[in-house]
Structure 1
């Protein structure tokens, strides 16, 4: 817990919520606990027009009440028209934002079988795709992914006619927020969570990360946001099981 009493997990929730700022009426599709809390916080505060889904076939309100039917055909229409912003996980990410969730090692004889490609190519080519990584390490942030599932900036640039909706707004980890605002759309250190140093992030990244001369800290949550996280969205503190506070409190 920092001097302000905000835990590392709460900074991660705030950083994930910020991914949906100014998105307007789009479908928020968070994958994972912290991103889900972030999407709900964003809708309750600065992005009230967000649409939330139960992950199956319904649009839901903040309390989980069904607000509408979202058949697969309509869902695909939103995806292919850029009206969805998904926050996925990643087993590997490279400096260009290429993502792997399929296998570790050679595809013909992998050392680890993972989820498979799933919807990653369609997501990244057709609607904004951010990423959440709960453990920032050189095993995730690699020089070259073993298999491309989510399409990065270099591959999108090579095929611009197929990637008009391609956008990777941010990558949130337990250490920092990263984006692709550096020259050549390579990964850049956008902010540090309080208590984290640039050296820690560099050591946990398996490639030369673009680091600006000055790196800000991830913004502080407002008192209202903290109240919502702690008392409404996650009173059971499940967030702390995914991202432990370094001070152990």
Structure 2
């Protein structure tokens, strides 16, 4: 059975929460949301999911508990949440920008704003989802630091960058200097293609593995239970 690129991205996002334990998963985006629910239904049953307001929910949306904002903040600031955010720009050390393109004083484009990115990255594990990998996103230097990278996080107790998942592959920071490394390629993508679409030197092993395929059971859950309307294809269309 043919596996789509979006489904490989779902698997890569789900793997972000493997071994995380009883933490709050905060996925931002369609593909990460499908991935978090898949993880909960398979290899991470202890994962906590939220409706985004005041409830803990199961993978099917049924209410499992109460999570008012003050308790949510306790999780955020105590390392008990793993968030997967987006990135308008991200650099080799994982500094992320979602605020503006161009100088802060006179930006060429206004984006979301800094929002909660500093608190997220300094106080709980953080990963990123980039649906369209390009040099406009993977940049040598971000225009404004919102999410804090490995080169700026000295002394932050709960700072940990997990993965960056894009439509081309999976990246981690398992290098001596904490810089980004190509961890796996989605099937059909080459190392050269990734490097051409990345605006900084990218570490990679001599042999880069492919992102794993979903099992038949996982594929059934994705297609029939979690996302039967194929919303994942809205973010990854190839």
Classify the TM-score, shorter chain. Answer: over 0.9
How many residues align? The count is 238
1:68 Cα deviation from its structure 2 partner? 1.5
Partner of 1:97: 94
1:172 Cα deviation from its structure 2 partner? 0.2
Which of 104, 119, 135 aligns to 2:116? It is 119
Whole-angstrom distance in 2 between the partners of 1:221 and 1:19? 14
Is residue 2:203 matched to residue 1:206?
no
Whole-angstrom distance in 1 between the partners of 2:167 and 2:4? 11
Partner of 1:63: 60
Q: State the SS of the aligned residue for 1:184.
A: coil
Partner of 1:220: 213
TM (norm. structure 1) is 0.94
CA displacement, residues 148-195 of structure 1 (integer Å, 9 cap, x when unaligned): 0000000013xx1xx111001100000000000122010000000000
Q: State the SS of the aligned residue for 1:143.
A: coil
Task: Choose 212-221 or 13-22, whichever is displaced more.
Answer: 212-221
Unpaired runs of at least 5, structure 1? none
Which of 47, 50, 53 aligns to 2:47? It is 50
Partner of 2:167: 174
Whole-angstrom distance in 2 between the partners of 1:74 and 1:96? 31
Whole-angstrom distance in 2 between the partners of 1:239 and 1:114? 23
TM (norm. structure 2) is 0.99
Q: State the SS of the aligned residue for 2:203.
A: coil
Which of 106, 112, 134 aligns to 1:137? It is 134
Unpaired runs of at least 5, structure 2? none
Partner of 2:12: 15
Q: CA RMSD in A?
A: 0.7
Partner of 1:73: 70
